[in-house]
Amino acid sequence: MSSWSELLSSSPLLMGIVNVTPDSFSDGGLFLSPQKAVCHAEELLLSGADIIDIGGESSRPFSEAVPLEEEMRRVIPVIKQVSIRMEALISIDTYKARVAEAAIKAGAKIVNDISALRFDKDMAKVVADYKVPVVLMHMKGTPKDMQLNPYYEDVLKEIYQFFEERIEFALKNGISEGQICLDPGIGFGKRLEDNLRILKHISYFKSLGFPILVGPSRKSFIGQILGIENPARRDIGTMGVIAYLVTQGVDIIRVHAVKECRQITDILHAILHID
């Protein structure tokens, strides 16, 4: 299994999504049992995923928080089995420090924190102590209220400044530069025009000097543009977004339909790197 730094040198990477939840916006309930979740992780790896992102709490708009013990009950058995059975780089999608620590002990190698270390005062210490990579994501508000009339004077500037503050916080709390990855949070407290502006100018955030992760897969802005209400039917629209992101040098793309996305990224990577 390749290390984090080795993988980044051959980006774009695909982060396959395993939602061990009953209420995720696209695939809630499909992989709630550990057995189904582990099988899905294996399918994603065989389809070309570089990272498996396992989460036990939905962060869809207006979702409710999940109790810590319930979140651990959902994800830890899955992480253990994936770690034992597969050569997988596992990410734990959580903002809770105790869940992250248990997940790391079970085999996770990356912490994907939608709160960028804000919601749990102990998360930074866990990341620093275990020296694992951490994804710092921008979100306005919380999943429960983030889509209640979000507004920005300058969405790019505000996210950039948010990243600067969170990077400084991480470094002051013992997290090294090499551990940090940034995610502008497509769909997290954003309007349609905000999502499109972030995507169009995604290279703006590259100037911060850290890997960039983007998660556009099946998001509502794609449904708004195409008039598709069912998230599971937004994969073709998602491919269009991913194709653009590859041309912009995005390092990691978080997706549901790994097989199709792998084909697109491989073709574009070949074209972009020919003399």
CB burial readout 150-170, b (16+ within 10 A) else e:
bebeebbeebbebbeebbeeb
Among 74, 140, 197, 254, the one annotated catalytic: 254
219 is catalytic: yes
Cβ 138 vs Cβ 185: under 8 Å: yes
Tokens coding 107: 């085999």
| Residue from 80, 219, 234, 262 carrying the catalytic annotation | 219
**120-136 burial code (b ≥16 CB/10 A, e <16):** beebbbbbbebebbbbb
Q: What's the CA dihedral at 97, 102, 103, 108 to 10 degrees? A: 100
254 noted as active-site residue: yes
3-state secondary structure of 71: helix
Spatial distance between the Cα atoms of 254 and 217, rounded to a whole number of angstroms: 7
Closest residue by Cα to residue 53 from 37, 66, 34? 37
Please compute Rg for the chain using Cα positions: 17
* 3-state DSSP assignment of residue 86: coil
Cβ contacts of residue 248 below 8 Å, gap of 6+? 202, 203
How far apart, in whole angstroms, are the C-alpha atoms of residue 44 and residue 41?
5
Position 50, amino acid: D
Of 143, 138, 149, 265, nearest to 212 by C-alpha is: 138
What are the catalytic residues? 219, 254
